[in-house]
Amino acid sequence: MTSSAGFRIYNAGFVVFTAASILLSFDPFDGGHGAMWLIGWRVLQAVGGSMLMANSAAILTDAFPADQRGFALGTNQIAGLAGMFVGLVAGGLLAAIDWRAVFWVNVPVGIYGTVWVKPSPASAPSPPPTSTRKARRGRAAYEIRHLGRGRARWPLAGKAAASAWAIRCARAA
């Protein structure tokens, strides 16, 4: 799904996550109302993060040749884990100054990611293998197997689209 739609969703994930981070730091309420403000914007932040996470694996899978995909996906996971660790440490240090400052850690990264992410001209979506009957069955089996885990990657528009595509492949086989 490295089509322009995949990159737009990925880029929108940066925008949504960053905007929610900014809004989280401006909590104008106290007590229960303040908690509801934080919960609401954290939900929006989670939506932005899920847009990033869901598309990053698809972009890397399509960008790297088969013999380098494992390295690329592994590096992506390590970078994500390192970011979580650094975020915890930085958040702990910033919380000593002001708890609202914790949310500002994400803003420079989000702005950089929004500006930096651009689809390359050579990033045309690579269709799943459908040239032979065996390849169609294999691809459909992959989709069905990963559907329940939420990891189906083609098309990455959601479980419903992936299952519909897998059913079409199975019928064609």
Distance CA 101, CA 91 (A): 8
Distance CA 120, CA 125 (A): 11
User: What counts of helices (H) and strands (E) characterise the chain?
Assistant: 6, 0
**Residue-level pLDDT at 3:** 64
Distance CA 115, CA 113 (A): 5
pLDDT tens per residue across span 48-82? 999 988 888 888 888 888 999 999 999 989 988 89
**Three-class secondary structure of residue 130 per DSSP:** coil
Per-residue pLDDT for the chain (173 aa), expressed as one digit of tens each?
A: 456 777 888 889 999 999 999 999 888 888 889 899 999 999 999 999 999 888 888 888 888 889 999 999 999 899 888 988 888 898 889 989 988 888 888 898 889 888 887 655 454 445 555 555 555 555 555 555 544 444 444 333 333 344 344 444 444 54
Distance CA 144, CA 34 (A): 43
Distance CA 66, CA 172 (A): 26
Helix 31-63 and helix 69-97: axis angle, to 10°? 160
Say which DSSP state 66 is in: G
Sequence length of the chain is 173
Q: Which pTM was predicted? A: 0.63
